Structure 1
Amino acid sequence: MENTKKSGFGEFVNNKLMPPIMKFVNTKAIKALQDGMIYSLPFIIIGSVFLILSNIPIPSVAAWLTATGWSAFFTQAYTATFGVLSIWAVVGMAYVYVRNEGYEALPAGLTSLATFFLIQMMNIDNPIKGLMSSGVTNSAGKMVLTGKAVTANIDKLPHALQGVMTAPVTGVFNITWLGGQGMVGAIIVGLLVGWSYSAMIRKGWKITLPEQVPASVAKQFTAMIPAGIIITVAMFIFAIFSHFNTDLLQYVYNLLELPMQGLSDSLGGAIVIGFAVSFFWFFGVHGGLIVGTIAGVFLMPNTAANAALYHAGKLSLANGAHIVTNEFYNNFINLTGSGITIGLVIFALFAAKSAQVKTLGKIELVPAIFNINEPFLFGLPLVMNPLLAIPFFLTPVVIAISTYLVIYFGIVPPLNGVAAPWTTPAVVSGFLIGGWKMAIWQACTLLISTGIYFPFAKKYDALLLKQENAKEAAKAADGETVDAQ
């Protein structure tokens, strides 16, 4: 009866639950989102290196870097890579969408970029307004003029001059909206441009030149009508929002991105993400791919926001830092592989008695160091294995909860926004994304994994050993029978 129930539940998941999920994951938009975001990965990692260099946590070294000007150079490199994350996303998603449709893709990516620029106000607040609240400091960080004093002096100027000094600076791009805060807007623009551009090309809305015209030139004319229509529509959208003294990116940020960030950056969000990865993998579906694609939309802006706070020297929960970021997902929930299976590796190497577990433990050791555990997922297996399902589901949930709480209660600092590649070994990644305290906590999570997996692995190993001994006994009995004959 128990096996029937398990089989029935497995059939329900595979036949009823998984098909609509996989259909959603394989839609054109989600594929473009997933593959388009990959183009930003090199810039995120490179920018993370410069983010670390511009914020060396050694006062004497940091002071020397500031005095010599190198800190400013590192900041420039960070801003031009990680700091404009939304640019890479908006180009990449439109490019991939149109490429997957079989058309010339680069013009679509560039059209998407132009649209993204067009729908935002090209201005920033005047720096003087900031000084009126924060005051003026010297190179050593000492206050030389309070905000109140700055305001008092400005008030002495003629009103016309006051207006000029406090008016927004126009004709510039606002870096805020090119980074994490513009990410959801970039996703919407990238996907809509990719879809509409492909649809117009498919319907033949293009300028066709004679065959004598070089192909490189003809392709650009092919893009002219779709690009022109998209940009014209974007201009009208900008005009409508300008009437209300805002723009589409700010509207999307307040309407969608802030609530989504709040939803993902919660204990409940951490639990759902931690459980979902193992849940999908248990039924043989790539949980990391599904959850990473969907959750990344919410978590990447959290990472970018923390990086900006870290760069400004204001990384704290009180200043709005996020607990659940993309690195929380990559370097904790998926540490040593989906299900955080390092506990199984340790058991296999030091306590296993069955040949199957001991052999797979040796095979899995090196991949586990780099957060890969397919040998266990399909070889042990963990997929559709009810005997190991509880620790496989439980471990990432426990670590998600405990990691959330140690950050929430200030035991370790928030993640600093540095994007360590997901293959970075444990403890090393912890140091990069949160300093020595996070490295120690990451080591603790490895012990938690071991403690959860050990009793279940012991029972499963004993079962395998019994089966292996039975096979050996059967072989021996067959051999004796042959000899007797």
Structure 2
Amino acid sequence: MSKFDIQAITKRLAPTMNKIQKSKLTSGITGGMMSALPVTLFGSFAALFLNFPIPAWKTFISSNGIASVVNTGILFSTNFLAIVFLLTIACSYAKQYKEDATIPVLLSVVCFFIVTPISVNKINNANVTSIPVEWLGAKGIFSAIIISVVATRLYIYFKQKGWTIKMPSSVPPVVSTSFSGLVPGFIVIILFLFVSGIFGATSYKTMHAFIYSFVQTPLQGVGGNIISIILLWTFAQILWFFGIHGTLVIYSVVLPIFTAMDAAQLAAYSAGQPLPNITGRAFVSTYTMSASAIGFALLMLLFAKSKQYKTLGKLSTVPALFGISEPLVFGTPLVLNFRFAIPFIFMNAISLTIAYVLTVIGLVPRVAGMQPVSGMPIIFSGLMEGSWKISVLQVLLVLLQMVVWYPFFKKADNEAYETEQKNSVSEKTVTV
């Protein structure tokens, strides 16, 4: 394939991929989920703190009442993620339309609880109303995404169509803004009251149960299928090869699925229950750091003869170990470089397959679903996921990367070294 053909393909792919990645809907959802990072990270570290794999530690925090305090933190972080994402996604999505987020956020909360089942129990001769917590955590995440997006978009649509109460110019802006959202807000709430009534007449009884059964569970089935994950991450590397940020493109589609899976995983890990999933965002992040090319960076650092690759190894190894792949990808470069296309495109698939098989047969435990921390180096990220065995597997995968990358690196390094030697001889000849 000629360079012209490659450039033509890249030009055709880039607009479509950028459109997917930068659409208001995608940006609103992913931006909202990223905004929830402080809460999701706190839940991850709280679960790790509570379940640190040392029996003496667990006995100590239980006997001193520390565990119950930490569990409260987990209840309102990991087990409260549906509400957290409801707020952050509504805010992020409203900002995509340059609208004030206050009313959309409030409407999203009201609409979410309108469709949430409630129960009335008699305690001490008094009726006590309660809300089941099961829909406030992992099981309610997709409901939260749908409700926040729909409520926000409807509100903005009705407002921009002019379905508002316009106040005189003498009225203070704060009061005027409140009244401008009155009619759209009423319409949105009434629509969700109808939705709640409709689902109440079905066998599902609630919108949450329907979404969980028909949307979230099947999608998590796709996210839990190693074949689909391998295909997705191979496609991501193909996009990277053409200079498109494949990871962002794929995550703009699968992030809600993976987030719900990891939330369920972390909730089970925090409660000391069997982990429900093998895959998820934590699984992919743990085993494909730096595009599974850390071994390539180490080869350049340790074995390169040419100045070109030796220098590149010195510059890219430390960032690669900390999950930063850009110096390696664009410095080599790996983009549009057919010399390294095979390991660059397929090494992720190899790493994920090996990790999945070893997890299935029980040699390595399932990852705990911890929120991936940007810049967390390998080994430490494995320990965060709940076991030293995961860290050992990370190291073994890096060694495997070195084996797979070696013939491609060796050929390129020898060619670069010969070129450098010829240039050196030419420079000496010219000097003489």
CA contact (8 A) 2:320 2:328 kept: no
Report the equivalent of 1:149. Answer: none
SS at match of 1:120: coil
Would the alpha carbon gap of residues 303 and 123 (structure 1) be closer, same or farther in structure 2, given more than 3 Å must change? farther
RMSD: 2.1
2:316 aligns with one of 357, 364, 370: 364
Amino acid at match of 1:38: M
Write the distance in 1 (CA, Å) between the matches of 2:129 and 2:144: 21
Report if the CA contact (8 A) 1:36-1:89 is conserved: yes
- The one-letter amino acid paired with 2:53 is P
CA contact (8 A) 1:197 1:227 kept: yes
8 Å Cα contact 1:48/1:419 also seen in 2: yes
Give TM-score scaled by structure 2 length.
0.93
**1:156 match:** none
Could you tell me how far apart the structure 2 residues matched to 1:112 and 1:223 are? Answer: 14
Tell me the residue number matched to 2:249.
Answer: 290
Q: 1:341 to 1:123 in 2, by over 3 A?
A: farther
> Which residue pairs with 1:84 in the alignment?
80
CA contact (8 A) 1:315 1:416 kept: no
Residues 248-259 of structure 1: pairs in structure 2 closer than 5 A: 248-259=207-218
**1:294-321 per-position Cα deviation (integer Å, ceiling 9, x unaligned):** 22121111111111211221224xxxx1
Question: Could you tell me whether the CA contact under 8 Å between 1:270 and 1:404 is conserved in 2?
Answer: no
Q: What SS does the aligned partner of 1:387 have?
A: helix
Q: Which residue of 2 aligns with 1:429?
A: 381
Question: Aligned pair count?
Answer: 428
* Greater gyration radius: 1
Runs of 5+ unmatched residues, structure 2: none
Amino acid at match of 2:217: L
SS in structure 2 of the partner of residue 171 of structure 1: strand
Percent of aligned positions with the same letter in both sequences? 27
Q: 2:148 matched to 1:190?
A: yes
Q: CA deviation at 1:7?
A: 4.8
Alignment partner, residue 228 of structure 1: 186
1:213-271 deviation digits (Å, cap 9, x = unpaired): 33233322222222221111011100111122521111011001111111111220231
**SS of equivalent to 1:388:** helix
2:279 maps to 1:324: yes
Distance 1:209 1:433 in 2: 56
Q: Give the whole-Å Cα distance in 1 for the aligned partners of 2:415 and 2:30.
A: 41
- Corresponding residue for residue 147 of structure 1: none
1:320-399 mapped onto 2 (5 Å cutoff): 321-333=276-288, 335=289, 337=290, 339-399=291-351
User: Do the aligned partners of 1:122 and 1:170 also contact (CA within 8 Å) in 2?
Assistant: no
Superposition TM-score, scaled by structure 1 size: 0.83
Q: Which amino acid aligns with 2:27?
A: K
How big is each residue's C-alpha offset from its partner over 1:411-447, in whole Å with a ceiling of 9 and x where there is no partner? Answer: 1111112224132110101011131111111111111
The 1-side partners of 2:25 and 2:200 are apart by: 29
Aligned residue among 352, 369, 375 for 1:417: 369
Q: Does the alignment pair 1:113 with 2:71?
A: no
Aligned to 2:339, the other structure's residue is in SS state: coil
CA-CA distance at 1:83 after TM superposition: 1.6
2:43 aligned partner: 47
**What is the CA–CA distance in structure 2 between the aligned matches of 1:434 and 1:54, rounded to whole Å?**
11
Gaps of 5+ in 1: 127-163, 481-485
Asked if 1:60 corresponds to 2:56, the answer is yes
What amino acid maps onto 1:382 in structure 2? L
Question: Are 2:195 and 1:237 equivalent residues in the alignment?
Answer: yes
